[in-house]
Structure 1
Amino acid sequence: MADKTPGESNARFATRIDPSKEGLSKEQMNFIRQVELEQWKKKSQMMRTRNVVTGLAIGALVLGIYGYTFYSVSQERVMDELDEEAKRARMQGPKTGAN
């Protein structure tokens, strides 16, 4: 064992096979389907979680923009009210020839 260099092994590597070209038994095909189904379930759960997080982030951004828009529009109304008060004050103020 000490004679072998690192990385050199007699272990077989997993190879990718094409089930349509290989002569596989029914049991082997069923096992492949089960493994693929489990991998698909795991991947779909991760994708679902990622999609929910992304959806919540986009929703929060939209609500933030919506809220800020309402806030800024209400501020504009306050500024309009101040302008109206200033006009009334000018109209009620002393009349001079400098109008």
Structure 2
Amino acid sequence: MADKIPKETSDAPFATRIDMAKPGLSVEQQHFIRQVELAQWKKKTQKLRTRNAVTGIAIGALVLGIYGYTFYSVSQEKIMDEMDAEAKSARAQQPKTGAN
């Protein structure tokens, strides 16, 4: 079904790359091309910088969250204290045997 759709062909040039070393370009054209390339580079750099900053903040928040949760969970861990208290109470309730 998809092969029955006629393909459109166009004679328009498609994003042809301009060679800067080509002798047919004037100095003004080369200067303009450099300005456009620099503007595109700055635009891409700003997007990457923003994206990198957001990624860094997200990773930092994740690391700090894990670090904080670890300290919180360790401080809440009173299992050993509870076991010691149970052992003391069990020893106190046992009958005392042995020589006086």
TM-score higher than 0.5 here?
yes
Bigger drift between 33-42 and 11-20 goes to 11-20
Partner of 1:95: 95
1:28-43 to structure 2, matched below 5 A, reads: 28-43=29-44
1:1-99 to structure 2, matched below 5 A, reads: 8=10, 11-20=12-21, 22-23=22-23, 24-76=25-77, 78-95=78-95
Q: Distance in 1 between matches of 2:89 and 2:14?
A: 89
Partner of 1:3: none
Code of the aligned partner of 1:48: R
Q: What is the CA distance between 1:79 and its match in structure 2?
A: 1.1
Q: Distance in 1 between matches of 2:80 and 2:62?
A: 29
Tell me the C-alpha RMSD between the 2 structures. 2.0
Code of the aligned partner of 1:83: M
When the two structures are superposed, what TM-score results if normalisation uses the length of structure 2?
0.76
When the two structures are superposed, what TM-score results if normalisation uses the length of structure 1?
0.76
Q: What is the CA distance between 1:72 and its match in structure 2?
A: 2.1
| Gaps in structure 1 of 5+ consecutive residues | 1-5
Aligned residue for 1:95, secondary structure, equals: coil
After TM superposition, where is structure 1 displaced by more than 6 Å over at least 4 residues in a row? none
Aligned residues: 90
